[in-house]
Amino acid sequence: MTHINNLKSIQYIIKKAIFTIVFSIVSLFSFANHDTTHLATANVHEENNGEEKFDINKTIMEHVADAHDWHLWGHTSIHLPVILYTNKGLDIFSSGKFNHGHDIYVGKYAYKMEHEKIHAVDENGNVLEDVSVLDFSITKNVATLLITVFGLILIFLTVANGYSKRGIGAPKGIQSWLEPIILFVRDDIATPNLGKHTNKYMPYLLTVFFFIWFNNMLGLIPFFPGGANVTGNIAVTMVLSVITFVLTNINAKKAYWSHIFLPHVPLWLYPLMIPVEIIGIFTKPFALMIRLFANITAGHILVLSLVCLAILFKSFAVGFATTPLIVFISAIELLVAFLQAFIFTILSALFIGMAVNIETEEAHH
């Protein structure tokens, strides 16, 4: 019976692997084609007008950075809501009121957008330095975050309903796909680092793992056009790191703080070791923030750089030569999307575990 179950498990894994490989290859070719088409269109437009040559740095940064419009294809975009607060109150309007930052929209103030930053201006278009504009707009990254939140809520409610109906029986549908991943997070990430505290922190670890993985994948799939670079936004990674920092230090045991302010070293080393230990409290979340931000952003920049080479050299041969590299790097990004979610989650579990299990470790030694 065990042999039959193992055989079925192997068959299931193979089927899933084949589907994933086929889906990934189709997705990556579509992604590369989508970006190439858009960049080529922008380049021809600029050269025909004689304004400027193709700027690879500007193009890549525009794709990686956040925006008030959600580009779909060609010159088609979704204009997202602009929500501004000034000393005259709220102003809400569509980002379509700005035409690539050259138009001025008149609400409670006259507003102009330059490099995705909105300023209050006078009738001559000069920035009013004395007017503070707080931007609460639904940008591309914010819209993607909302999609992620509702998507994860829907997915996990479906999984929870499956367990409530079938109990511990054989999982079906999306439940059968997520259960091995949930068990992986629990058995290979949480339990080794948190021990008896695993159940307490599992909701956070599962949330952060799937949140990062889900957003990483949304930036890669072709039928999610203009995919936002959410986890490549340092503000998002900073918030995730701060949450881990707060959980670690709020729940830390007395022995954890004792190791920091009363380290087990000779007294004459205290002036050196205590500052080092205090700095270490902050370098841990800083490392989490930078690692996730840098790896995701670097992957996107590398793919876009390869895409831009054919346009820069205006050569079909260069485009043909770089296509396998684009597919290869994009395939690696699929792995990195999972790997970065895993690394952030396991390091969070490690840091929290170091703070809450320190008394148990001392008793063991």
Same domain, 122 and 178: no
**CA dist., res. 171 & res. 152, Å (int):** 18
**CA dist., res. 255 & res. 360, Å (int):** 10
User: Does 301 fall in a domain?
Assistant: yes
Same domain, 277 and 331: yes
User: Does 25 fall in a domain?
Assistant: no
Same domain, 115 and 204: no
Same domain, 268 and 309: yes
Which tokens is 276 given?
């080092």
Same domain, 178 and 314: yes
Q: What is the pLDDT along the chain (365 residues), one digit of tens a residue?
A: 444 444 444 444 444 444 444 444 443 343 333 343 344 444 444 444 444 566 677 777 767 778 888 777 667 778 889 999 988 888 888 888 887 656 788 888 888 888 788 888 887 778 888 888 898 999 888 888 888 899 999 988 888 888 888 777 677 778 888 888 999 999 999 999 998 999 999 999 999 999 999 998 887 765 454 567 888 889 999 999 999 999 999 998 888 898 888 888 888 888 889 999 999 999 999 999 999 999 888 888 888 788 777 777 777 777 778 888 888 888 888 889 999 999 999 999 999 999 997 655 444 44
DSSP string, 263-298: -SS-GGGHHHHHHHHHHHHHHHHHHHHHHHHHHHHH
Residue range(s) defining the domain that contains residue 157: 140-364
**CA dist., res. 15 & res. 12, Å (int):** 5
**CA dist., res. 334 & res. 274, Å (int):** 41
User: Does 241 fall in a domain?
Assistant: yes
Question: 3-state DSSP call for residue 362?
Answer: helix
Contact at 8 Å (CB) between 98 and 120?
no
Same domain, 115 and 153: no
Angle at 72 between CA 319 and CA 114, to 5 degrees: 95
User: Does 37 fall in a domain?
Assistant: no
| pLDDT for the residue 309 | 79
Same domain, 199 and 97: no
Same domain, 239 and 266: yes
User: Does 273 fall in a domain?
Assistant: yes
Same domain, 206 and 301: yes
* Residue at a domain's end among 135, 167, 199: 135
| pLDDT for the residue 39 | 43
Which tokens is 85 given?
């607060």
| pLDDT for the residue 40 | 43
**282 closest CA partner among 235, 232, 248:** 248
Which tokens is 147 given?
């999609």
Same domain, 177 and 250: yes
User: Does 129 fall in a domain?
Assistant: yes
| pLDDT for the residue 102 | 65
* Residue at a domain's end among 109, 135, 161: 135
CA contacts within 13 A on the Cβ side of 152: 17
Which tokens is 327 given?
């597919």
Sheet architecture: strand order including 81-86: 89-94, 81-86, 134-135
User: Does 256 fall in a domain?
Assistant: yes
Same domain, 146 and 115: no
- Structural domain total, the chain: 2
Same domain, 87 and 145: no
User: Does 46 fall in a domain?
Assistant: no
